[in-house]
Amino acid sequence: MRRLIFPIVLGLVGVAILVSLGNWQMRRLAWKEGILAEIDARMASAPADLPFADLTEETHEYLPVAITGAFTGETIYVLISLDGEGPGYRVIEAFETAGGDRILADRGFLPDESRGADLSPAPGTWEGNLSWPNEVDGFTPDPEGNLWFARDLPAMAEALGTLPVLAVLSEQTDPQLTPMPIDTGGIPNDHREYAITWYLLALVWAVMSGYYGWRVLRRKD
């Protein structure tokens, strides 16, 4: 029986580690679902006509807002590809509010062939959600004029001379644009799949450890 000590210990330790990783992912799942529920509740509130000072990502991310004023025509085109549409651009434009603040507005997707078209509507009120995107990593190319390759809120605000505030609009501001409103569907939540993977690995480890122990017994016989 001493020959079985190693496979038994190996099996128990391996299963314990893999099950604990699965349990950890289940705790992460509960944590993420709580965050998503909080975001959904925040997004379900009525649009607010906020002052644009003292806004913070921690407190105001995803908050519905109504912005009143006019687009200035100062535009950044962020290169993207949209499912079902192909290549094109996110149109990020400076927006001057009725109170005199300059912020950024994400007006949505513009097909590649329409770049440079006149997209400035008359002054009005549009609804959307506040966002603090930072999609830049070490592989992102530098901007080429008003052509950008990722959204970087502080850099975009500096380039267009606005506050570092971005409203992602949920309404169509021009027939050539497709709004890209924020929703929680774009927030990854794969913890359940990760947990299932760890539990299945624990099962496989247990079976293989049992098979190893059986082989040890056979060699003894």
What's the confidence (pLDDT) of residue 99? 85
Ranges of residues in the chain whose predicted pLDDT is under 50: none
Cβ count near 11 (within 10 Å):
19
Can you give the residue range of the structural domain that contains 153?
63-181
Please check whether residue 22 is in contact with residue 202, taking contact to mean a CB–CB distance below 8 angstroms: yes
Residue 55 lies in a domain: no
Q: Judge if 202 and 175 occupy the same domain.
A: no
What's the confidence (pLDDT) of residue 200? 96
What's the confidence (pLDDT) of residue 59? 81
What's the confidence (pLDDT) of residue 51? 67
Inter-CA distances, 44 with 91, 122, 179, 185, Å: 25, 28, 18, 15
Q: Judge if 177 and 195 occupy the same domain.
A: no
Going by the DSSP 8-state scheme, the letter that residue 77 receives in this structure is: E
Give the residue among 114, 81, 80, 110 at the shortest CA–CA distance from 93.
110
What's the confidence (pLDDT) of residue 1? 63
What's the confidence (pLDDT) of residue 68? 93
What's the confidence (pLDDT) of residue 163? 92
Domains identified in the chain, total number? 2
What's the confidence (pLDDT) of residue 60? 86
Q: Judge if 7 and 80 occupy the same domain.
A: no
Q: Judge if 155 and 70 occupy the same domain.
A: yes
What's the confidence (pLDDT) of residue 103? 94
What's the confidence (pLDDT) of residue 55? 83
